[in-house]
Structure 1
Amino acid sequence: MARHASPVQSLLVDDRFDGDVYAREPLSRHTTYRIGGPARFFVRANSVGALTGLIEVCEAEGTPWVVLGRGSNVLVSDEGFSGVAIALGRDFRTLRYDEGRFTVGAGATLSSVVQEAFKRMVGGFEFAVGTPGTVGGALRMNAGTRDEWIGERVISVTTFRPGRGLARRHGDDIEWGYRTSSFAPDEVIVECELAAGVADPYQVRDKMEGNLARRKACQPLSEPTCGSVFKNPEGASAGQLIEQARCKGAEVGGARISELHGNFIVNRGGATAADVRALMALVRERVLEATGIELTPEVRLVGFEDGDRG
């Protein structure tokens, strides 16, 4: 490494760094949208030490960073991300069950928790069937429905914040709202404990199978999307408002509003982030004109001037 290498660069080429490092990695390979330009570095941190050390060095150097998880609910700009995009690897994918609770690493998929709950026939996670992404991402956005959400199952969460270190918080100390939580923007979820409920095994199976069938019938699960694009306004459905504004099937470039569900924008092939954002702007304008309601984006923006940590 040249003598003028930055501390971040020096750390990432150190053989002792417990992670996988890719320079100028296209983030389209790491998002469910399959959209996004290159990150300066894409790093899969495999241990808590690697994660915390990397973030502390980025903070000290002033290098922007973002934790992507599995890249659902994210739209990355076509220009990419000028900093370090982080995925949680090996040690963050643990999943254990003991005496009515799951202990789960933030990098584990929410679907793996659902599958384990189904295997053990314990209740409380039926609402999450078919929900993509990691447990960490699900906690940050309090994934769920209008009636059930993951925050209700949280016993504790372990997080890391630069300059403050690791902390374990009780679930009741965290504010949970519709598609929101009180985690700070620079707070990284590391691990959590989730309560599993006692339930009738047949009811668990029936509810999970019913929820999955409904999702398959009305959501484009087989196409590249970010999930829901807009939050549901109070007392209304974003998908229904979009349909009411006659936006279903609308297209900009390679991006199109799904015919199955108005609140999903699909990548038909070759869609750019600019296409998606232009289509989002068109939808917001038409819905506001037709209903007087201004939709709020749910998708997280990375690499845009007005985006999240980038």
Structure 2
Amino acid sequence: MDVHRAADHGHTDYNMEAKRGKALPCHEDRFDSGIDSLKEELLSTELDALRVSESVWGDWEPWRAEVNEDGDTLLHLAIIHEATDCVLQMIRLSHGHPFLNAQNHQRQTALHLAVITEQPQLVDKLLKAGADPLLADNRGNTPLHIACKQGSLACFGVITQNCQRHRASILSACNYSGHNCLHLASVNGYISLVESLVSLGADINAREPCSGRSALHLAVDLQDSTLVHRLLDLGADVNCLNYGGFTPYHLTYGRHNEEIRSQLYERTAQDLRELPDSEDSDMEDLSEDEVYDDIKFGK
């Protein structure tokens, strides 16, 4: 079963321009929990065992030690299958217990899965009971990274409201692809999340550690004129250089969006408009793939 199901439109940030028929170039693999091999009847039996009267819940709960072949605990499985009553019962009985932060073989915690399956109520309950928002999965993604990748405004709001003490650390953390939360929101065209992240203190000019691209570089590379305009309004540095010495304006060479080109030209410092080493005439003759091969997403 794929737990990365479509989120409720009422809780998801959609930039329609970015979504309309445009294949984004930085898709990581889907957030699967690895439960394809689960026998549904076994899961049903396990969850039914949790629906008994509370009188059988003692100081030693053997259900906490139950782990399947994918490393999923009963809490993981109950969240995936939206067995909300069982989830709430386990959370209430495990307040402050390490069980809440158990990681499966993909290093996903219950909190990761609650975000993936778009269940903000459970995200809130888990955080209040002691779930750690800083734990990363096997791709380096915290639950907030996932909320920003999916465009989940509801889960994003719950996490940031409950984690004010850790907020700066979470906002600045990069996953193993070098993306922080602002980069992920930008790459996926979620403008409302970009605005929220900046308002909460995310560094709008933070650069990827692998290539030095800022959110504005990413927006130009995606040719998302709406996002470019909003980032400029929010104070993005138009003269920021990536590690190759290119400004966002330089990335318009070989592209055909004149709106983006003119917006950046007007704001870019005059001495930064020409390509490094005056290679602009040569680069304009190259294909898009040849010009931008060094900044392809996911490389």
Q: Normalising to structure 1: TM-score of the pair?
A: 0.26
Higher helix share: 2
Higher relative contact order (CA 8 A, sep 6+): 1
Higher alpha-carbon Rg: 2
